[in-house]
Amino acid sequence: QIAPPTVAVVMVPFPAQGHLNQLLQLSHLITSYGLPVHFAGSSSHNRQAKLRLHGWGSQSLSKIHFHDFQLPPYTNPLPNPDPSIPFPTHLQPLFNASLHLRQPVSQLLEQLSCKFRRVIMIHDALLASVVQDAKILSNTESYVFVPISAFTTFFNAWSRFPEKPFLIDSESPKCVPSMDECLPFEFLHFLANQKKCLGFESGWLYNTSRVIEGRYVELFEKLLICPEKKHFAIGPVNSVEMENKNGKHICLEWLNKQQKDSVIYISFGSTTSMTDDQITELALGLEKSQQKFIWVLRKADTGDVFTSAEVRKDQLPEGYDERVKNRGMVVRDWAPQLEILGHPATGGFMSHCGWNSCMESISLGVPIAAWPMHSDQPSNAVLVTEVLKVGVLVRDWTQHAELVSSKTIDSALRRLMASAEGKEMRKRATELGDAVRASVVEGGASRLEMDAFISHITRK
């Protein structure tokens, strides 16, 4: 008979789609080591999380316990520098969670710490404030989960050191956009408050593989100057194993009929969308480029989370659908991104460079046409295009171009999909993808670090 586990894990996600999913995937991974996971969140975000459990084995499901907390209605705690500018409504649940999850999470830790020998809390780096009440418990340890690239994490921290420690060798990019330039005031204020709560953690978990960013994990570790803290690069935690789901979504059936590496997949994530004018330019650019494409353009998009809450009309130019019908496909619902990227016909990904999308594309060997918009995306784009050299830049963040013209889009698409340079990038992406996938299976670098993390937290 197997002894019951003496260690429990409490997972505290940051309530935004991409972040939630990463900690859910990590929960799945941890249960495969036999440990129970207590997933703590607001009722509404846990509802979203549960929708994603579809198809998971009962083994894992029985070990994930959801704790749904009712959070009070939101009131803005920040000084608003200009009351004529409304506070972005999309950010409210995030602020709310950072304020009101602390107490219920602390109570949960207390209850579990009576039942288990050790309780491990893993919280999103953006929700560090949950440790404030929890740090007093003696058999509880906390770990920071980094849901963005180690590259971005390192450069953001490094740029704040006036003396710029640790030599960055000549291969390093000259200019990495700082998050300060790419986020609105309210969010920067929020992040600064979260950062103040760091320091009590026993270690850091990174959703990346050392195969991609080992150097930046090491540099960040050096920057923290805390030798007793442990650092584990365990990613990608999102599953990159393709099940054969061909034929399920209509776009996969369409892909089945296309030649190898002939299609570019276009998607800007779950929260970022474009103006009507930009949509028109993109439509025209795609048409000019003569490339085959799958374009995710959803009616349900609620506007760019950081610029506008307006629901846009996703109007395409007159007669567009008819003109491109043999070459392209516009998807207006939730696209099966992993299956699309894993399909042999997909040869490129035009992406906003959210970290999930970058990791998925790299893991599946697909080069990227980078079109970053905000937050960590501009710096991820530098990693993809300048460091890993598996992509081209469509939108130059430093120029802050208002509208990316169809001409620029056309030339970026041709560069990626129909040039010798693009072919070279695809080759590199394939090699990198093979290495990343090998790192998450038994004996691979990321899996060994996950094994080491589990051994560490279950130590006697």
Q: Which of 152, 207, 209, 270 binds ligand UDP (CB under 6 A)?
A: 270
Q: Given the complex with ligand UDP, which of 34 and 336 has the nearer CB atom? A: 336
Is residue 334 involved in binding ligand UDP (CB under 6 A)? yes
Environment class of 74 (CB within 10 Å of its CB; exposed 0-12, middle 13-18, buried 19+) = middle
Is residue 126 involved in binding ligand UDP (CB under 6 A)? no
Read off the tokens for 92: 């409210």
Annotated catalytic residue: which of 28, 124, 231, 374?
124
Q: Are strands 7-12 and 140-146 parallel, antiparallel or unpaired?
A: unpaired
Is residue 291 involved in binding ligand UDP (CB under 6 A)? no
**Quick one: which segment of 191-199, 257-265, 356-364, 396-404 binds ligand UDP (CB under 6 A)?**
356-364
Q: Given the complex with ligand UDP, which of 48 and 411 has the nearer CB atom? A: 48
Q: Given the complex with ligand UDP, which of 166 and 334 has the nearer CB atom? A: 334
Minimal distance, residue 253 CB to ligand UDP, in Å:
17
Read off the tokens for 28: 């799945």
Say whether 124 is catalytic: yes
Q: What is the crossing angle of helices 420-439 and 445-457, to 10°?
A: 30
Read off the tokens for 73: 């209605």
Minimal distance, residue 167 CB to ligand UDP, in Å:
31
Is residue 360 involved in binding ligand UDP (CB under 6 A)? yes
Is residue 356 involved in binding ligand UDP (CB under 6 A)? yes
DSSP 386: I
CB 267 within 8 A of CB 346: no
DSSP 161: -
Q: Which of 328, 342, 354, 433 binds ligand UDP (CB under 6 A)?
A: 354
The whole-angstrom separation of Cα 292 and Cα 287 is 9
The whole-angstrom separation of Cα 443 and Cα 438 is 8
The whole-angstrom separation of Cα 278 and Cα 385 is 23
- Contact string 213-252 vs ligand UDP (x = CB under 6 A): ----------------------------------------
Q: Mind spelling out the 3-state secondary structure of 243-306?
A: CCCCCCCHHHHHHHCCCCCCEEEEECCCCCCCCHHHHHHHHHHHHHHCCEEEEECCCCCCCCCC
Q: Which residues neighbour 399 within 8 Å (Cβ) at sequence distance 6 or greater? A: none
Minimal distance, residue 18 CB to ligand UDP, in Å:
3
Q: Given the complex with ligand UDP, which of 272 and 289 has the nearer CB atom? A: 272
Minimal distance, residue 270 CB to ligand UDP, in Å:
3
3-state helix, strand, coil in the chain (%, to 5): 45, 15, 40
Is residue 357 involved in binding ligand UDP (CB under 6 A)? yes
Read off the tokens for 154: 């390192």
Greatest pairwise CA separation for the chain in angstroms: 68
**Quick one: which segment of 64-72, 221-229, 267-275, 402-410 binds ligand UDP (CB under 6 A)?**
267-275
Q: Given the complex with ligand UDP, which of 141 and 304 has the nearer CB atom? A: 304
**Quick one: which segment of 103-111, 137-145, 222-230, 266-274 binds ligand UDP (CB under 6 A)?**
266-274
Q: Which residues 83-122 are close enough to bind ligand UDP by CB under 6 A?
A: none
**Quick one: which segment of 156-164, 219-227, 255-263, 334-342 binds ligand UDP (CB under 6 A)?**
334-342
Say whether 19 is catalytic: yes
Minimal distance, residue 298 CB to ligand UDP, in Å:
7
β-strand partners of 140? 119
Q: Given the complex with ligand UDP, which of 69 and 265 has the nearer CB atom? A: 265
**Quick one: which segment of 99-107, 331-339, 397-405, 425-433 binds ligand UDP (CB under 6 A)?**
331-339
The whole-angstrom separation of Cα 422 and Cα 420 is 5
Phi-psi region of 314 (alpha: psi -120 to 50; beta: other; left: phi over 0): beta
Q: Which of 203, 236, 269, 444 binds ligand UDP (CB under 6 A)?
A: 269
Minimal distance, residue 165 CB to ligand UDP, in Å:
30
Is residue 17 involved in binding ligand UDP (CB under 6 A)? yes
Burial 350-383 (b: 16+ CB within 10 A, else e): bbbbbbbbbbbbbbbbbbbbbbbbbbbbbbbbbb
Q: Given the complex with ligand UDP, which of 116 and 190 has the nearer CB atom? A: 190
The whole-angstrom separation of Cα 392 and Cα 385 is 6
Size of the site for ligand UDP (CB under 6 A): 17
- Positions annotated as catalytic residues are 19, 124
Give residues in contact with ligand UDP (CB under 6 A).
17-18, 267, 269-272, 296, 334-335, 337-338, 354-357, 360
